[in-house]
Amino acid sequence: MRFHCLAVPHTISNSDYVACAYTQKVVKFCKMMKQRGHYIIHYGHEDSVVECDENVSVVSKETFNELYGNDNYKHKFFEYDTKNSVYQEFHKNAIEEVGKRKEKNDFLLAFWGYGVKDVCDAHSDMICVEPGIGYTSAPFCKWAVFESYALLHSQMGIQKVSRCNPEWYWSVIPNYFDIDDFEYSSEKEDYFLFVGRVYDGKGIHIAIQVTKQIGAKLLVCGQNSLKDCGYTETPDHVTEIGYVGKEKRKELMSKAKGAFIASLYTEPFGGVQIEMLLSGTPTITTDWGAFTENNIHGITGYRCRTFEHFCWAAKNIENISPENCRNFGLNFTLDKVGKMYEEYFKSVLDVFETKDGWYRLNDDRQELNYLTKNLNISIP
């Protein structure tokens, strides 16, 4: 299969932008599917570092640097405007370059959804797919892959409970991770960890209040600062580290005895939760969204609804096996999730390449990859 991968225009597809989940989806998807023998064409910034067959520059350094040529993203949340000069240049050049390369039944992948819709609209003869929906806008493509069932069901809405009009090609495939980016350790140090956007929506105040209540240390990493959250000074038991790159993240995640990911909204996925598990670190989360799928209560961590729950979870974090965390995290590797994507794309191709379409039967079918998680865990 041939995949045309549209990058996130306001970032660069490399490991420096580890805080942007969508950017990392692009980088990891290219590696995942190229390793599986597919033809990959990436469209993005000229400094992108991706594993692909063609790396096509559609945004120049000059244009990019005029708006984003600093390290503000390491301190503040990402800012973008789909009408600015970077997006305009990206759209114009990507439309032209895709046109030069596309072949019949190629896939055009919109990782950034509506941010690259103009490119998809210009190539409506291609198979346009939104391959990793974690955003709240409804998909504009017929072919759509959501990060979690929580988000899929939210997008369907309550009306789908009483109406029989399914979206057969709205699928769920979880986010995917390169295990080389993480280091497993069963030996933990005496601190809890928060990694992510530092604001109330991610539950930073819960992490601070709980660790203060039980007398524990908390390390805080990510964009923004506690001052931006209304704290006049950093609490004594908290250490602010700021934005951390790939290697520092790997070290901190592997040694933490537990991690707080207490999102107050319906979390579409929460990739850092899986990153913690791959490091052997238990997670303490809220009890909704994708956490209900990916944080197995009492096995990989705890899901909480009250302050008492959070405090109890933190005080009992040593009862969670780092090995169980790691083993469950291995369900989200490039190899395992790559099979899920292959299955999905093949089913979509059936619509274009066979007269049977949805009714296509594959005589060599051995398993349904999206149903086969290897839960190599033990219950205490």
CATH number for position 121: 3.40.50
* Angle in degrees, 0-180, between the axes of helices 21-35 and 334-353, rounded to the nearest 10: 80
Are residues 380 and 298 in contact, defined by beta-carbon separation less than 8 angstroms? Answer: yes
Q: Is 302 helix (H, G, I), strand (E, B) or coil?
A: strand
Number of domains in the chain: 2
Please report whether residue 231 resides in a domain: yes
Helix locations, 19-84, DSSP H: 21-35, 61-68
Q: In the chain, what are the helix, strand and coil shares in percent, each to the nearest 5? A: 40, 15, 40
At which of 305, 330, 355 does a domain end?
330
Other beta carbons less than 10 A from residue 366's beta carbon: 6
Question: CB–CB of 13/109 below 8 Å?
Answer: no
Whole-number Å distance between alpha carbons of 370 and 347:
13
Residue 7 falls inside a structural domain = yes
Residue 361 lies inside a defined structural domain of this protein: no
User: 3-class DSSP state for residue 143?
Assistant: strand
- φ/ψ of 247, rounded to 5, equals -70, -40
What's the pTM value of the predicted model, to 2 decimals? 0.93
Of 175, 52, 43, residue with least CA distance to 110: 43
Domain assignment of residue 115, given as a range: 2-172
Q: Are 140 and 117 in contact (CB under 8 A)?
A: yes
pLDDT tens track, the chain, 380 positions: 999 999 999 999 998 898 899 999 999 999 999 999 999 999 999 999 999 999 999 999 999 999 988 777 777 778 889 999 999 999 999 999 999 999 999 999 999 999 999 999 999 999 999 999 999 999 999 999 999 999 999 999 998 898 888 899 999 999 999 999 999 999 999 999 999 999 999 999 999 999 999 999 999 998 888 998 889 999 999 999 998 888 999 999 999 999 999 999 999 999 999 999 999 999 999 999 999 999 999 999 999 999 999 999 999 999 999 999 999 999 999 999 999 999 999 999 999 999 999 999 988 777 777 655 555 555 54
The amino acid sitting at 305 is R
Same structural domain for residues 254 and 289?
Answer: yes
| Inside any domain, residue 353 | no
